[in-house]
Every structure is written in structure tokens, then in C-alpha cells.
Amino acid sequence: MSSAAPTTFSNSDTDKIMLAARELFCARDDRVLFKNLNFDLPQGQVLQVQGSNGSGKTTLMRILCGLNDSYEGSIKWYGQEIEDQAASFFSSLLYIGHRVGVSKVLTPVENLRWSCSLKQAVSDEQIMAALKEVGLRGFEESPCYTLSAGQQQRVSLARLIISPASLWVLDEPFTTLDSKGVAMLEKIMQRQAQAGGAVMVTTHHSLSIPQLALLSLG
């Protein structure tokens, strides 16, 4: 069974700014995590957020995804304040946090069937193709508690292959992956950028992606 064809996003202007932040400020426990933070994330780009532990990488990702409102500054979605474009933004977003986010009592197929159905109709053929691409052929019907940490991470990352979201926000997605898994995920991220989408990712890995830009915190 071959993998599903990647989504191509309709806007042909790959230099158009998808997500932008201006003068972001955030403090936690009287300690400034970041201030005067500015960046643009255009279509067709992978933006890697770098920084030491505690520099605010996860906090930034959660702010961008609407999970943390303890900040000052402006976040824009295609040039408009994100609060005014909430429906468009959240329908275009796929966020995968640093926790695996799969139910261990469910199988990979069941996990994907449930998580993907929250935003779209998904066929079993799409699910099986995605699991094959992430290296889980033969494990589709195994309860996730029988899988290794890296395999459980692959179940979560299979959502990237199925999702129609144009913006991916990924927090430490490489953590439990082996070298083959790292190469696999880099390929999927590169394909997303080539299709006109965008990726924002936190990782300590040195990524081999042509469309890569860097944002350093701390």
C-alpha cells in the first residue's frame, strides 16, 4: 500500500507570511523568558526554535497555539491579529507537544482513527498508509502499551501524514526517535514545506532540511 499523496496548499505565493510575532514578552516566576521577540514564518519554511533548557521554547509554542495567555505582544495569522482569525487559525493548526499523546490501551489504528476524526473524516486506508510510512507496519493492531517509546512517538507523528493542516507546531518531536526515525521525520517536514505549508519545531538536533531557518531563545 503506497502512502497518500501529500496535500498541496492552495496559496501559490510561498513567500507569504503565515504566522508572525511582534514584541513578544513572557515572564515566569519573576524571571523573563523572552522579550522583544520577533519572527516571521512564511509558507514553505521550517523554523527551528533553539535554546537551552528553561529558555522558554515550550512556553513559546504553547503561546502560539493558544494554550498560554500569559504574554504581551502581537501574534498575527496572515497579517491579521490571531484573536480575529481564531477559526481560520485553529482549523489550519496541528500541534504535537513533547508528550506522546497516545492512549496506551488503544492500538495505533484506533489512536489515529480517534485523533484524526476530531478535524476530518479519515479512512482506514489512509491510516494504514501513514503507519507504514512511519515504520509501524505489522504493529497496526498492537496495543500501544506493548510498543517502545520510539514506536509510540511514531504513532503520534503519523498524524502529520494524514492531517490537512497547513501549519505544524511540534515540540521536541525527535526525542525518542532512532536515526531512521529522525530521517523519516525530516523527510515528512520537508515535504510539508515543499507543499506550501510551514513547520515550527523545537529540537536540539541539527536538522538537514533545505527550507530551514533558525530562531534562538536565551
Q: What is the per-residue pLDDT across 90-102, written as a single tens digit (0 to 9) for each?
A: 999 999 998 888 9
pLDDT at 162 over 80: yes
Confidence of residue 3 (pLDDT cuts 50, 70, 90): very low
Closest by CA position to 63, among listed 116, 21, 103, 107: 21
DSSP states along the chain: -PPPPPP--S---TTSEEEEEEEEEEEETTEEEEEEEEEEEETTEEEEEE--TTSSHHHHHHHHTTS----EEEEEETTEEGGGGHHHHHHTEEEE-SS----TTS-HHHHHHHHHHTTS---HHHHHHHHHHTT-TT-TTS-GGGS-HHHHHHHHHHHHHH---SEEEEESTTTT--HHHHHHHHHHHHHHHHTT-EEEEE-SS----TTEEEEE--
* Percentage of the chain lying above the pLDDT 70 cut: 93
Q: Is 129 exposed, middle or buried (0-12, 13-18, 19+ CB in 10 A)?
A: middle
Across the chain, mean pLDDT equals 91
37: which 3 cell numbers? 521577540
Mean pLDDT of 94-112: 93
pLDDT at 13 over 50: no
pLDDT for res 6: 53
| 71, part of any domain | no
As a whole number of angstroms, the distance between CA 35 and CA 52 comes to 16
As a whole number of angstroms, the distance between CA 3 and CA 173 comes to 21
pLDDT tens-digit readout, 177-211: 999 999 999 999 999 999 999 999 999 889 999 99
| 132, part of any domain | yes
| 85, part of any domain | no
- State the SS3 of 155-167: HHHHHHHHCCCCE
Residue ranges making up the domain that contains 138: 103-163
88: which 3 cell numbers? 481560520
Closest by CA position to 130, among listed 205, 191, 81: 191
| 145, part of any domain | yes
| 147, part of any domain | yes
Which residue type is seen at 62?
R
As a whole number of angstroms, the distance between CA 66 and CA 116 comes to 20
pLDDT tens-digit readout, 125-150: 999 999 999 999 999 999 999 999 99
Give Cα 140 distance to the centre of its chain: 22
Mean pLDDT of 147-164: 95
**Whole-structure pTM value:** 0.90
pLDDT at 24 over 90: yes
| 22, part of any domain | no
| 139, part of any domain | yes
Looking at the structure of the chain, the number of domains it has is 1
| 34, part of any domain | no
